[in-house]
Structure 1
Amino acid sequence: MPLPKNFVRAETLKFGIYILFPIGVLYLFNRPDLQEKLGRDQIETLAAFRVPEDKLFKLPSSMSEVREETARIRKLRHEQLEKQKAENSSA
């Protein structure tokens, strides 16, 4: 049973759109002048949301820093447990 002509035309049109749309988008938006303009706007927007360097967590680079950080975390956890015990015993 042969396919109707309208079906073949529609499928050919869809195939053409599927192929030409990405190529057209790349052709329109992959220009250096447009990339610079879009990039500049994005950099300004991202700068507003960026966290300052001094507030970022820094990974320890030596064993002494690892030990200090581990001790700080253990102390903080111990204080939280003591606080919870005090709240539970008073309640």
Structure 2
Amino acid sequence: MGGPNLEVFKFGFYIMFPIGIMYYFGTNLDSKFSVDGFWPSKEQSNKIPTEPEDIRAELERLRRRRLERRATRLAEETRSQQDMAGDGA
């Protein structure tokens, strides 16, 4: 149908298209696809405690935080129940 020239063109296209795409996306990645501030700095990242006393202190901090949130949630629930009881009467 198309002849040998068409077959050579198709073969060249099938080979060169993926190579061209890989070349375009594979070179100068820092300048093409960089986003400033995407990754957190070392100061912003989480620091995992390794010493036993640091671990205990971190667990205590998390426990206090959890209890504070629980107390706040319970206070809001009782306040909303009182509001609902007051509105219904």
TM-score normalised per structure 2: 0.57
**Helix, strand or coil for the counterpart of 1:16?**
helix
1:19 equivalent to 2:15? Answer yes
Whichever structure has more helix as a proportion of its residues is: 1
Identity %: 28
Matches within 5 A, 1:41-80: 41=31, 45-46=34-35, 48-49=36-37, 50-80=39-69
Letter of the 1:71 counterpart: E
**Ranges of 4+ aligned residues in structure 1 off by more than 6 Å:** 27-30
The CA deviation at 1:10 is: 5.7
Which residues of structure 1 form unaligned runs of 5+? none
The structure-2 alpha-carbon separation of the partners of 1:78 and 1:21, relative to structure 1 and needing over 3 Å to count, comes to same
**Helix, strand or coil for the counterpart of 1:58?**
coil
Tell me the number of residue pairs that the alignment of Structure 1 and Structure 2 aligns: 78
1:89 equivalent to 2:78? Answer yes
The structure-2 alpha-carbon separation of the partners of 1:86 and 1:7, relative to structure 1 and needing over 3 Å to count, comes to farther
Ranked by relative contact order (alpha carbons within 8 Å, sequence separation 6 or more), the top structure is 2
The structure-2 alpha-carbon separation of the partners of 1:54 and 1:9, relative to structure 1 and needing over 3 Å to count, comes to same
Which residues of structure 2 form unaligned runs of 5+? 81-89
TM-score normalised per structure 1: 0.56
